[in-house]
Chain A
Amino acid sequence: MSATVLVIESEPWLGDHYQRQLESQGFKVTRASHAYDAIDRVEEDSPVAIIMSLLLNGPGALNLLHELQSYSDTADIPVIVCTSIDELSLEELEPYGVHRIINSVTMRPSDVVHAVRSVTASV
């Protein structure tokens, strides 16, 4: 059975892009466009990893990360952040469960797949 990856991206076409990449490499993808939806998807689909933008509609990404860290069954899901904000460091976001930051300005399409493989291998 394929491992499920949750993609949380408010920009639907960018979400489609990540989904195409992951599905082409055998992952099952579930999608959310905002934090509320993401909580539902985490509960129902039990993803092995989460790829998310920091710019979400509604409650912010940090609220969502904090929420995920609040529960033992979701705190261990590795999170990969895709962002164009180059001032963020992994050290800042690690307490929120973030395992990897991808710079969306320079990323290649396969980077999301590599990141998911690396974070799921390390947990």
Chain B
Amino acid sequence: MSVEGERNIGGISSRLFDESILPASAAQELISPLVLLRQLGLSASENGLDPEQQKLLGEQMTLTSERALRMVTSLSMISSSQQMLPLEPVNPMTVCREVVHELSPMFTAHGQKITLQSRSRVPLTVANRNVLQRILLAFGDNALHYGSDEHPISMAITGYGDIVRIGIRDRGPAVPTDIWNKLEDRVSRRARAPLSNRPHASGVSLMAVRRLAERMNSVVGIVRHRDGATFYIDLNVSRQTSLL
């Protein structure tokens, strides 16, 4: 029997990138939003719903399908290109603002909040803008159910010399180290086992994230906290403008 209710660590480990298990795992993970979508659709077609209820169900169906589409888009990106991605100087603050803006309706509909924290001046980074956006959206989706009124999900941009780190901090259950090892073992043993120890996390999206990050010379990782986790991406600072 699988160990459920523990926490997903999101495919950061390289063993989770075994191409042979990706399709099966992706199919398994897509079931969750599709199950919800189907039930919402069945609810919407029931008699006796007032217009307000129908409108609410319609909004929930839209947001659920958008979330599933984000996951499919990430998977599509890693399967469509095996090459290094074209890189350019990217303002991380602009991308973060766009991501927070895109995710906010989903968070609001779930009674959650996502905020952006940053120092005043953030250097340009070397990245592929679209891919960076996809990665941060996946981090955001991953954190959706792990915030609270007191502790909203926070996206933060920090700097470490030549590196800019964009992290999304949540308040999900702690991640014991041994779970990491157990997860790897299970995934390598049995492709159909649920990848995600964290119920609402999209392990497959995070697998895609790592692969996409590699194609723009970036690194993704996780910092475990007593009361949650930070999923992050480290980006190289662009030196292009400093040469001008």
A: residues with CB less than 8 A from B are 10-14, 17, 20, 24, 35, 53-63, 84-85, 87-88, 92, 104-105, 107-109
Q: Is the CB of B199 within 8 A of A56?
A: yes
A35 to B6, CA, bound (A): 12
B139 within 8 A of A: no
A114 to B1, CA, bound (A): 27
B35 within 8 A of A: yes
A92 / chain B contacts, CB cutoff of 8 Å: 1
A17 / chain B contacts, CB cutoff of 8 Å: 39-40, 43
Q: Is the CB of A62 within 8 A of B36?
A: no
B3 within 8 A of A: yes
A to B CB contacts below 8 Å, 11 in the list: A12-B110, A14-B39, A55-B194, A56-B5, A57-B172, A57-B200, A58-B173, A59-B173, A61-B4, A105-B31, A109-B42
Total residues of chain B contacting the partner, CB 8 A: 29
B238 within 8 A of A: no
Q: Is the CB of A60 within 8 A of B32?
A: no
Q: Is the CB of A10 within 8 A of B4?
A: no
A104 to B1, CA, bound (A): 18
The chain A residue sitting closest to B43, CB to CB, is A17
- Whether A108 touches B42, Cβ cut-off 8 Å, given contacts A13-B64, A54-B4, A60-B5, is yes
A60 to B179, CA, bound (A): 13
B: residues with CB less than 8 A from A are 1-6, 31-32, 35-36, 39-40, 42-43, 46, 48, 60, 64, 110-111, 145-146, 172-173, 192, 194, 198-200
A39 to B60, CA, bound (A): 29
The chain A residue sitting closest to B28, CB to CB, is A84
Which of these, B3, B31, B145, B194, contacts A57 with CB under 8 Å? B145
In angstroms, how far is the closest chain B Cβ from the Cβ of A7? Answer: 13
- Whether A57 touches B5, Cβ cut-off 8 Å, given contacts A13-B60, A84-B32, A84-B35, is yes
Q: Considering residues B39, B48, B172, B173, which has the most beta carbons from chain A within 10 angstroms of its beta carbon? A: B39
Chain B binding surface SS class: loop
A107 / chain B contacts, CB cutoff of 8 Å: 39
A35 to B200, CA, bound (A): 15
The chain A residue sitting closest to B45, CB to CB, is A109
Q: Is the CB of B199 within 8 A of A62?
A: no
Q: Is the CB of B36 within 8 A of A11?
A: yes
A17 to B56, CA, bound (A): 12
The chain A residue sitting closest to B33, CB to CB, is A11
Q: Is the CB of B5 within 8 A of A59?
A: yes
Q: Is the CB of B32 within 8 A of A13?
A: no
| Seed contacts A56-B4, A60-B3, A84-B35; 10 additional CB < 8 Å A-B pairs | A24-B48, A53-B199, A54-B4, A55-B194, A55-B199, A56-B5, A62-B4, A63-B5, A104-B35, A109-B39
The chain A residue sitting closest to B5, CB to CB, is A60
Q: Is the CB of A62 within 8 A of B35?
A: no
Q: Is the CB of B43 within 8 A of A61?
A: no
In angstroms, how far is the closest chain A Cβ from the Cβ of B49? Answer: 9
The chain B residue sitting closest to A35, CB to CB, is B5
A49 to B64, CA, bound (A): 29
In angstroms, how far is the closest chain B Cβ from the Cβ of A87? Answer: 8
A58 to B64, CA, bound (A): 23
The chain B residue sitting closest to A55, CB to CB, is B199
B1 / chain A contacts, CB cutoff of 8 Å: 62, 88, 92
